[in-house]
Structure 1
Amino acid sequence: MTTALAVLALLGVAVAVIALVALHVVPSGLSPLRDPVSAYGISRWRALYRTQTVATAVAAVSLAGALLAAGIPSTLPGLIALAALALTRAPISWVPMDAADAPRTATGRRHNLLAFGAFAAASVGGFMTGIAFSAAGFDGAANASAVLGSVMTVASAVTILASVVRPLRPIFGLAERAIYLGMFAWLVLGAVVLLAR
Structure 2
Amino acid sequence: MSLAEFITQYGALAVFVGAGAEGETAAFLGGIFAHRHLMPYWQAAVAASLGSFVADQFFFLAGRYASRLRFVQTFTASDMMRRVTRLLETYPTGFILSFRFIYGIRIISPVAIGLSSVSALRFLALNLVAASIWGTVITAIGFLLGNVVEAVFGRLHLHIHLLIALAAVAVLIAATAILTKKYLTRPSRRT
TM-score by length of 1: 0.30
TM-score by length of 2: 0.30
